[in-house]
Amino acid sequence: MDRRPGASRGAPVNRNGVERTADSALFDGYLEPDRPHPDAYDEMFDADGTVRAPYRQLHDAIAPTAAADLTVRSEALDRAYLDQGITFSLSGKERPFPLDIVPRVISSAEWNKLQRGIVQRVKALEAFLADVYGDAQIVRDGVLPRRLITSCEHFKRSAHQLNPPNGVRIHVAGIDLVRDAEGTFRVLEDNLRNPSGVSYVMENRRTMARVFPDLFTRQRVRAVGDYSTHLLHALRVAAAPNVADPTVVVLTPGVYNSAYFEHSLLARQMGVELVEGRDLFCRDNIVYMRTTEGEQRVDVVYRRIDDDFLDPLQFKPTSVLGVAGIMNAARAGNVVIANAVGNGVGDDKLVYTYVPDMIKYYLDEKPVLPNVSTFRCWLDEECGHVIDTLDELVLKPVEGSGGYGILFGPNASRKELADARKSIRADPRGWIAQPVVQLSTVPTRVDDRLVPRHVDLRPFAVNDGENVFVLPGGLTRVALPKGSLVVNSSQGGGSKDTWVLAPNRAPEAERELGQAGLASPIGPVQAPAAEHGPELTIGQQQQQQQQQQGCDD
Amino acid sequence: MGWRIRVVHETGYHYNAPVHESYNEVRLTPRSDGHQNVIVNRIETVPATRSYRYEDYWGTQVTAFDLHAPHTELHVTGTSVVETGDEVEPVATATWEDLASEPVRDRYTEMLEFTEYVTKDPALTEVARGIKRANAPVDAVAAACRWVHENMTYQAGTTGVHTSAPEALAAGEGVCQDFVHLSLVLLREMGVPSRYVSGYLLPRKDTAVGETVSGESHAWIEARTGGWWGYDPTNDMRIGERHVWVAVGRDYADVSPIKGIYSGGSAEALDVTVDMTRLA
- State pLDDT tens for residues B189-215: 999 999 999 999 999 889 899 999 998
DSSP state for residue B225 in the 8-state scheme: S
Q: Is the pLDDT of residue A54 over 80?
A: yes
Q: Is the pLDDT of residue A537 over 70?
A: no
Which three-class secondary structure state does DSSP give residue A493?
strand
Q: How far apart are CA B153 and CA B20, in angstroms?
A: 42
Task: Return the residue of B nearest to A151 by Cα.
Answer: B110
Q: Does B57 touch chain A (CB under 8 A)?
A: yes
Q: What is the pLDDT of residue A243?
A: 86
Q: What is the pLDDT of residue A482?
A: 87
Partner-chain residue, chosen from B24, B64, B68, that has the shortest CB–CB distance to A283: B68
Q: Which residues in chain B are contacts of A157 at CB distance < 8 A?
A: 56-58
Q: How far apart are CA A276 and CA A27, in angstroms?
A: 48
pLDDT more than 70, % of chain A: 84
Q: Which residues in chain B are contacts of A312 at CB distance < 8 A?
A: 261
Q: Which residues in chain B are contacts of A283 at CB distance < 8 A?
A: 66, 68
Q: What is the pLDDT of residue A253?
A: 95
Q: How far apart are CA A190 and CA A357, in angstroms?
A: 15
What pLDDT, in 10s, does the model give residues A147-206?
A: 999 999 999 999 999 999 999 999 999 999 999 999 999 999 999 998 999 999 999 999
Q: What is the pLDDT of residue A489?
A: 63
pLDDT more than 90, % of chain B: 89
Is the CB of B261 less than 8 angstroms away from the CB of A146? no
CA-based radius of gyration for chain A: 24
Task: Return the residue of A nearest to B68 by Cα.
Answer: A283
Q: Which residues are A287's β-sheet partners?
A: A282
Q: Does A285 touch chain B (CB under 8 A)?
A: yes
Q: Does B54 touch chain A (CB under 8 A)?
A: yes
pLDDT, average across residues B79-92: 94
Q: What is the distance in angstroms between the Cα of B280 and the nearest Cα belonging to chain A? A: 38
Q: Which residues in chain A are contacts of B48 at CB distance < 8 A?
A: none
Q: Do β-strands A172-179 and A460-463 pair in parallel, antiparallel, or remain unpaired? A: antiparallel
Q: Do β-strands B243-249 and B71-83 pair in parallel, antiparallel, or remain unpaired? A: unpaired
**Chain-wide mean pLDDT for chain A?**
85
pLDDT, average across residues A431-452: 91
Q: What is the distance in angstroms between the Cα of B223 and the nearest Cα belonging to chain A? A: 19
Helix axes A260-270, A227-238, angle to 10 degrees: 80
Q: How far apart are CA A391 and CA A102, in angstroms?
A: 34
pLDDT, average across residues B147-166: 93
Q: Which of B121, B56, B30, B41 is nearest to B254 (CA)?
A: B56
Lowest-confidence pick of A106-110, A392-396, A416-420, A530-534 = A530-534
Q: What is the distance in angstroms between the Cα of A283 and the nearest Cα belonging to chain B? A: 7
Q: Does A282 touch chain B (CB under 8 A)?
A: yes
Q: What is the distance in angstroms between the Cα of A112 and the nearest Cα belonging to chain B? A: 40
Higher pLDDT, A477 or A540: A477
Q: What is the pLDDT of residue A518?
A: 39
**What's the pLDDT band for A224 if we cut at 50, 70, 90?**
very high
pLDDT, average across residues A92-102: 79
Q: In sequence order, which residues have a C-beta less than 8 Å from that of residue A442 and are 6 or more positions away?
A: A42, A43, A44, A102, A104, A452, A453, A455, A476, A478, A496
In our burial notation (b when 16+ CB lie closer than 10 A, e otherwise), range B97-127 reads: eebeeeebbbbbbbbbebbebbbebeebeeb
Is the CB of A150 less than 8 angstroms away from the CB of B25? no
Q: What is the distance in angstroms between the Cα of B213 and the nearest Cα belonging to chain A? A: 34
Helix axes A227-238, A529-552, angle to 10 degrees: 130
Q: Does B52 touch chain A (CB under 8 A)?
A: yes
Q: What is the pLDDT of residue A511?
A: 55
Partner-chain residue, chosen from B57, B64, B107, that has the shortest CB–CB distance to A146: B107
To test the contact with chain B by mutation, choose from A284, A319, A321, A335 the residue with the greatest count of B C-beta atoms within 10 A, namely A284
Task: Return the residue of A nearest to B114 by Cα.
Answer: A151
To test the contact with chain B by mutation, choose from A135, A138, A146, A155 the residue with the greatest count of B C-beta atoms within 10 A, namely A146
Q: What is the pLDDT of residue B103?
A: 93
What pLDDT, in 10s, does the model give residues B30-58?
A: 999 988 999 999 999 999 999 999 999 99
Q: What is the pLDDT of residue A8?
A: 36
Partner-chain residue, chosen from B64, B106, B109, that has the shortest CB–CB distance to A328: B64
Q: Does A364 touch chain B (CB under 8 A)?
A: no
pLDDT, average across residues A499-503: 93
Q: What is the distance in angstroms between the Cα of B15 and the nearest Cα belonging to chain A? A: 19
Q: Which residues in chain B are contacts of A290 at CB distance < 8 A?
A: none
Q: Is the pLDDT of residue A369 over 90?
A: yes
Q: Does A332 touch chain B (CB under 8 A)?
A: yes
Q: What is the pLDDT of residue B169?
A: 95
Higher pLDDT, B264 or B206: B206
Q: Is the pLDDT of residue A538 over 90?
A: no
HEC profile of A163-180: CCCCCCCCCEEEEEEEEC
Q: Does A161 touch chain B (CB under 8 A)?
A: yes
Higher pLDDT, A535 or A266: A266
Is the CB of B260 less than 8 angstroms away from the CB of A313? yes
**Amino acid present at B73:** E
Q: Do β-strands A441-446 and A273-275 pair in parallel, antiparallel, or remain unpaired? A: unpaired
Q: Does A334 touch chain B (CB under 8 A)?
A: no
**What's the pLDDT band for B267 if we cut at 50, 70, 90?**
confident
Q: Does A328 touch chain B (CB under 8 A)?
A: yes
Q: Which of A79, A39, A78, A45 is nearest to A63 (CA)?
A: A45
Task: Return the residue of B nearest to A318 by Cα.
Answer: B261
First to last CA, chain B: 10
Q: How far apart are CA A43 and CA A221, in angstroms?
A: 17
State pTM to two decimals.
0.89
Q: What is the pLDDT of residue A519?
A: 37
Q: Does B116 touch chain A (CB under 8 A)?
A: no
Q: What is the distance in angstroms between the Cα of A159 and the nearest Cα belonging to chain B? A: 8
**What's the pLDDT band for B170 if we cut at 50, 70, 90?**
very high
Q: Is the pLDDT of residue B255 over 50?
A: yes
Q: What is the pLDDT of residue A550?
A: 36
Q: What is the pLDDT of residue B1?
A: 63
pLDDT, average across residues B116-135: 95
pLDDT more than 90, % of chain A: 61
Task: Return the residue of A nearest to B261 by Cα.
Answer: A313
To test the contact with chain A by mutation, choose from B63, B106, B250 the residue with the greatest count of A C-beta atoms within 10 A, namely B106
Q: How many beta-carbon contacts under 8 Å exist across A and B?
A: 50
User: What's the residue count for chain A?
Assistant: 553
**What's the pLDDT band for A524 if we cut at 50, 70, 90?**
very low
pLDDT, average across residues B110-122: 95
Is the CB of B66 less than 8 angstroms away from the CB of A312? no
Q: Which residues in chain A are contacts of B58 at CB distance < 8 A?
A: 157
Q: Which residues in chain A are contacts of B25 at CB distance < 8 A?
A: 313, 328
Q: What is the pLDDT of residue B164?
A: 95
